[in-house]
Chains A and B, each alone.
Chain A
Amino acid sequence: EADIYQTPRYLVIGTGKKITLECSQTMGHDKMYWYQQDPGMELHLIHYSYGVNSTEKGDLSSESTVSRIRTEHFPLTLESARPSHTSQYLCASRSLNGGPGGNEQFFGPGTRLTVL
């Protein structure tokens, strides 16, 4: 059973507000990811981290920022939300160890963000 949590699950907010989407995992995984997914569409990687104090931008350009101060925590922040940010945001984590058992990603339940 994966132990990765995201809060809030749903968020409706006005344009211009600053928001932080929380993601925490209790599996001790070094690697963490943020994906953006529009309804019925594929996942786009927007940020990832190899470990504490490591953050990288993903394949899809995003105005959001992330931080990794603790292994278990990987929050995503939007300084000024806009309607174009409306989407689902999925957080995932993965063990750094290679081999057959160490390559799958574990996903959180997602945060569905609506910016009015």
Chain B
Amino acid sequence: AQSVTQLGSHVSVSEGALVLLRCNYSSSVPPYLFWYVQYPNQGLQLLLKYTSAATLVKGINGFEAEFKKSETSFHLPKPSAHMSDAAEYFCAVSEETSYDKVIFGPGTSLSVIP
């Protein structure tokens, strides 16, 4: 069965500092992996996705993520946080064999301190 864990329900960083949002997944078959961002009072917006092509995936807003099969991870680092990055971030997984079902992680709330 698929599952997603996100270490740290709240992350707080200073503006300009490195941000690392963590995501680990479990899947018995090759997965599709996603990061979504949710700003206050809005729906989710796709940040980036991994679909078995390149393991380093670039997304919007300067984010990129690296798929590491050996670690079953899909962490989301960003070298320099901006105030506009403050939001809720969700990692999600779906399986190639049943990609119609997407499992979301519990989310990580990112705060950026000026």
Give the contacts of B31-71 with A (CB-CB under 8 A): 32, 34, 36, 41-46, 49, 51-53
**Distance between Cα atoms of A104 and B50 in the complex (Å):** 10
A100-B43 contact in complex given A40-B107, A42-B104, C-beta closer than 8 Å: no
Q: Return the CB mask of B71-104 against A: 1 if under 8 Å, else 0.
A: 0000000000000000010100010000111101
- Pick from A41, A99, A108, A109: contact of B107, CB under 8 Å: A41
- Pick from B49, B90, B104, B106: contact of A104, CB under 8 Å: B49
Chain B residues with CB under 8 Å of A85's CB are none
**Distance between Cα atoms of A6 and B49 in the complex (Å):** 24
Q: Is the CB of B99 within 8 A of A103?
A: yes
At the interface, yes or no: A43 with Cβ under 8 Å from chain B? yes
- Pick from A31, A43, A99: contact of B100, CB under 8 Å: A31
Count of chain B residues near A, Cβ 8 A: 25
Count of chain A residues near B, Cβ 8 A: 25
> Is chain B's interface secondary structure helix, strand, loop, or mixed overall?
strand
B95 CB to closest chain A CB (Å) equals 10
Give the contacts of A2-61 with B (CB-CB under 8 A): 4, 6, 31, 40-43, 45, 48, 50
Q: Which residues of A contact B (CB under 8 A)?
A: 4, 6, 31, 40-43, 45, 48, 50, 90, 92, 94, 98-100, 103-110, 112
